[in-house]
Amino acid sequence: KAMEIKTIGDFYDVLGPDNVKFIITRDCPAGVWRSYLGPQNRGTPADRVLTDDLGIITVMNNSVTLHLTGDALGIDGVSAINLCRGTNLVGVPLRDERLKCVSDLWNLEGFVDKVAWVIVSDNGVFKVVLRPDDPAGNIPITGGQSFIITAREAGVAEIRGEAWDNVPDGIAAAP
């Protein structure tokens, strides 16, 4: 059944309430982590509206594969990743040809000399990437990933490209 996902609560519902332990986001301007624990969090600050670069960590009882389709985040193929000074949890909103692997994040205009380190999950194992030439940074960037980025100072990087597509061939996507 197709469902529009606009908030963390909607995302929780699609993943399956009996399957989700909790969902974590980072509210960088407020300097706090937000945990969505279930329906009791609907309408609270934890039930955030999904934004272009919002990173999400989901702790599940079982793996779930979602087939997502829809409009690209951003406007006319342009979006941004916004970093606050300190800890950030972000995602890459569009499939940008400049971003092949995690190490490429350091080279984005607006991030140069601002990114201190990045934590990324690689097949269920968190890895720390300490610099642009770190071999650990060869992890490919894909849609649906979230990155914990520590920034020395605030920065904004423009992201250009197409929507991420995870709908497998042979599955009809709703318009």
Cβ(142)–Cβ(100) under 8 Å? no
Q: For position 169, what pLDDT does the model report? A: 52
Cβ(27)–Cβ(34) under 8 Å? yes
Calpha distance 87→129 (Å, rounded)? 14
Cβ(95)–Cβ(142) under 8 Å? no
Compute CA 59 distance to the chain's CA centroid, rounded to the nearest angstrom.
14
If you average pLDDT over every residue of the chain, what do you get?
88
Q: Tens of pLDDT along 37-80? A: 999 999 999 999 998 899 999 999 988 887 777 666 778 889 99
Calpha distance 7→167 (Å, rounded)? 21
Q: Rounded to two decimals, what is the model's pTM?
A: 0.85
Overall average pLDDT of the 1-13 stretch: 87
Calpha distance 8→41 (Å, rounded)? 10
Calpha distance 169→158 (Å, rounded)? 30
